[in-house]
Amino acid sequence: MKPVKNIYIIIGFMLFALFFGAGNLIYPAFLGIYSGSNLALAILGFCLTGVTLPLLGVVAVAYSGASDIEDFARPVSRHYALLFSIALYLSIGPFFAIPRTGATSFSIGIEPIFGDNIIAKVIYGLVFFGISYILAIKPNKIADRIGKYLTPSLLIIIAILVIASFVKPAGDIGPAYNAASDISNAFKDVPFVAGLIQGYGTMDALASLAFAIIVIDASKSHGAKEQSEIAALTFKSGLIATALLALIYIFVGRIGASSQNLFDFTNGHFMFKGDPIDGGNILGQAAHFYLGSIGQIILAAAIFLACLTTSTGLITACAEYFHKLQPKVSHVTWATVFTLIALFFYFGGLTDLIKWSLPVLYLLYPLTVVIILLSLLAKFFEKDRIVYQLTIAFTAIPALYDAISTLAKQTGLFHLPAGLVNFFSNIVPLGQFSMEWISFAVVGFIVGFILHKVKKA
C-alpha cells in the first residue's frame, strides 16, 4: 500500500498544530513589542531555537528509526535513556506542559471575558481537558482529526488577526527596549541572543522527540512502510509545519512591535492595569483594537484551538510511551491518569506552572539539543558510544548548574558559592549569555571523537 497522495500536507498540518500552543503566540508577541526596530534580529534568533531545532528533532528521530524517545537516547546507555525519557515525557506531559495548555488558554482567552472565578475555571478545565482526552484516546485518528479540521480553523483565525493588523495597525514599529536586565530580555542590547533564548520557552525542541513518534505512526497508518519512505514523509511534513510556525512568529512579532502605542511605558516597562505586560495582554489589546469586542472572542478561539491540539498530542504521546513501559496498563488508562494529573496541576495557575518548570527546562533542553545533533552526526563517528557518553556527560554539568542555580533564585532557600557562579557566568565561553552548555558540549564531543579515532588506530 503506497502512502496517500499529499498525505504529508495533512500530517504537516497535524505536526504544526501539535507544536503550536499558546506559548507560540505569547512569546513572539512579547518579543515583538520590546524588540521594536530590532524585530528582524530577535525573530531570527527566536526561529533558530523555536523552528529549526524542532524540525531537526523530528527529522533525527525519523532517520534514526527509533520507536520512542528511550530508543532514540539508548546509544548513550540503557539506564540514561530510561531516565531521560521518563523525565522528558513527564515534563512535556502531566507535570508541566499539559496543565500549562489549559492554564494559559484560560488566562488569555477566558479570564478576560468571564473573570477569574473558581466556577469559570472548573467548567473550562472540565471542558478543555475533556475534549483533549476524547481526542487522545483514539491516537490512530489524530492525524485526520487535527490535520483536516482543527489546524485549518486555527490558521483562519490567526490570519484574521494578521490581516487586521495590516488594515488597521495600532501604530508604527517603535524603538527597542530591554524588558529586564537578564540576557534573555535584552532586546535592545543583544536582540539576536535574546530571541534565541526566548525560543527555548516554547519547549518545542523537547516535544519534537515525542511528536516525531506520532508523525511516524501516522505515516505508517497511511501506507508508508520502508524506513526511507517514512523518513522522507516525516521530513516533508516537518518542513510544512515549521514553515507555518516561522510565518506566524514573524507576523505575530510584527503585531507586538506595532502595538507599543496601546500601552503606557513606565520605569522601563510597558504596563497594563498597573502591571508589566505579558504576551497575552499584547494580543488581547491588539485584537480589541483591530476588531473591537469581537476581537477578544476571536483571540479566545485561537488560543483554545492552539492549546487543545497541543494538549491532545502530549496526552497521546505520553500515554503511548508509558503503555510501552507497562503494557498491562492500557493506552486509555494512561491517558486517563495523565489527563487527571494535568487537570489537578491546572488549578495551580499559570504563574506557578511556568515558575517551577524553569529548572527542569534548563536541565533537559541542552541534553535534548545535544542528543538530536549527535543522532544527525552519528555516521561521522560510527555511532561510537564513547562519543555519545562524553558529550552528554560534559553537557550535563552546566545544565545541572543552571537548573540548581535557577531553583536557588526561585526559592531563596540556598545559595551557590560565588566562585562557582563566577566560573559558569563569566569564565566559561557563552556563560554571559546563559549558554555555557554549548562550550562544554563541544569539548565533550572533541574528546570523545579523539578517543574514537584512537580506538580505531
Type of residue at 277 = I
Q: What pLDDT is attached to residue 145?
A: 59
**What was the pLDDT predicted at 2?**
52
Burial pattern 269-284, b for ≥16 Cβ within 10 A else e, equals: bbebeeeebbbbbbbb
Give the list of residues 6+ apart from residue 92 with CB closer than 8 angstroms, or none: 98, 203, 206, 207, 210, 314, 317, 318
Q: E-strand spans in 222-330? A: 264-266, 269-272, 275-276
Q: What is the pLDDT of residue 146?
A: 60
Instruction: Show the low-confidence residues of the chain (pLDDT under 70).
Output: 1-5, 22, 139-151, 350-351, 457
CA neighbor of 139 nearest in space, from 351, 372, 324: 324
Contacts of 222 (CB under 8 A, 6+ apart): 3, 4, 7, 11, 143
Instruction: Give the integer Cα–Cα distance in Å for 79 and 93.
Output: 21
The residue type found at 144 is D
Picking from 240, 313, 220, the residue whose alpha carbon sits closest to that of residue 9 is: 240
Cα 131 to Cα 154: distance, rounded to the nearest angstrom: 16
CA dihedral 262, 40, 176, 306 (to 10 degrees): 40
Residue 413 DSSP SS3: coil
pLDDT score of 10: 82
CA atoms within 13 A on the CB side of 59: 20
Q: 166 by DSSP, 3-state: which? A: helix
Dihedral pair phi/psi, residue 169, rounded to 5°: -65, 145
Helices 204-221 and 227-257: crossing angle in degrees, nearest 10, is 140
| Domains annotated on the chain, with CATH | 7-348 (1.20.1740.10), 351-457 (no CATH)
Burial 400-414 (b: 16+ CB within 10 A, else e): bbbbbbbbeeeeeee
pLDDT for the residue 448: 96
Q: What is the DSSP letter of 264?
A: E
Distance separating alpha carbons of residues 196 and 199, to the nearest angstrom: 5
Measured distance CA(307)–CA(94) in Å, rounded: 14
Q: Of 52, 316, 38, which is closest to residue 200 (Cα–Cα)?
A: 52
Long-range contacts of 432-438 (CB under 8 A, 24+ apart): 432/183, 433/183, 433/190, 433/193, 433/197, 434/182, 434/183, 434/184, 434/197, 434/402, 435/193, 435/196, 435/197, 436/398, 436/402, 437/366, 437/395, 437/398, 437/399, 437/402, 438/366
Which helix (H) or strand (E) segment holds residue 18: the answer is helix 7-19
